[in-house]
Amino acid sequence: MATVTSVEALAPGDHACLTFSDPDERLDIVAAFVRDGLSRSTKVMCLTESIPPDRLSAELVERGVPAAEALPVNQLSIFGSAESWLADGEPNAAKMIDLLGRHLDDANREGYTGLRVTADMSWVTRPIAAADQLPIFEAEVGKLLGDGRLTAICQYDREIFDAVTQAFAAAVHPHAVAAVVYYEDPVLRICRQHSPPGVRLAGEIDYSHVEELTLALNEALRLDHDIQVNLAKLRFMDAAAAAAITHAALSLPTGRVMSIVCGGVVLRMLRLVGATDLGAVRVVRAHGD
């Protein structure tokens, strides 16, 4: 059974599954995985399916990953399924393993310390896909990982995989990566954001969950020099929650930055409590605002 690991803690030779239901959480973890790979001089390969390659590179850039620099020099490569799983018309695990093997050899030859691969596994659910290729692929990847130069994250979307396949994925991967969730109920979710590092909130927050918010902010400030408080998906925030963010920003010594992604009524409340006037705070307008 997989042990839950933070994406930052993955080491060469690790094989992890990322089972997600929140698309932001998936992109956040993929971005952190790519970012850490690039900064550790490994080659990075993204096999994408539900997100087109162009959009994935834009999403990575938005999350602070230097994709625009890494793509032209082939340290980072992004393949859609037409160039990978479906290059021959139908998925073939053996050919995919060959592709990975070639990239691993390339990485070696070009002087990189290894190869990081992250693969969106939703190709399995395509009408033409042969589901029998999935266990072959996962088993063969396991062998490639043996010599400690490859690190892999396989992405499984909870919305499209059945329970049996999810259980298989959990069993075959020694590690599972997931965002740290500080709080979750039907109207509010507070979790760690990995790239850029910080905290992400979704839903509606008021005074009754200030304690969990404060905990999340304090941990983010302990882990990283500058943090992002991502409130893009937050629909409502009351004065008490805004005051908790203000309090955290006030505790920052000169030189450290809290950027806050927000818009609409959330930005309005932050202005009303004075958070936006603080020297440490940078407001980043959320999309669609």
Nearer to other proteins, 219 or 238 (CB): 238
DSSP string spanning 192-232?
A: EEETTEEEEEEEEE-GGGHHHHHHHHHHHHHH-SSEEEEEE
User: Beta-carbon neighbour count of residue 40 at 10 Å?
Assistant: 14
Nearer to other proteins, 8 or 204 (CB): 204
Q: Which two tokens stand for residue 146?
A: 């043996």
CB of 134 to other proteins, least distance (A): 42
Binding site for other proteins (CB under 8 A): 187, 204, 206-208, 210, 236, 238-240, 243-244, 246-247, 250, 264-265, 268-269, 272-274, 278
Nearer to other proteins, 126 or 233 (CB): 233
Cα distance from N-terminal residue to C-terminal residue, the chain: 43
Question: Could you give the 3-state DSSP secondary structure of residue 285?
Answer: strand
Phi, psi of 70, rounded to the nearest 5 degrees? -80, -25
Nearer to other proteins, 170 or 257 (CB): 257
CB of 229 to other proteins, least distance (A): 17
CB of 277 to other proteins, least distance (A): 8
Nearer to other proteins, 22 or 206 (CB): 206
Nearer to other proteins, 4 or 265 (CB): 265
CB of 272 to other proteins, least distance (A): 5
62: which residues sit within 8 A by CB, 6+ positions away?
none
CB of 199 to other proteins, least distance (A): 18
CB of 217 to other proteins, least distance (A): 13
Of residues 21, 24, 52, 53, the one with CA closest to residue 157: 21
Q: Quick one: angle between helices 163-172 and 133-144, nearest 10?
A: 20
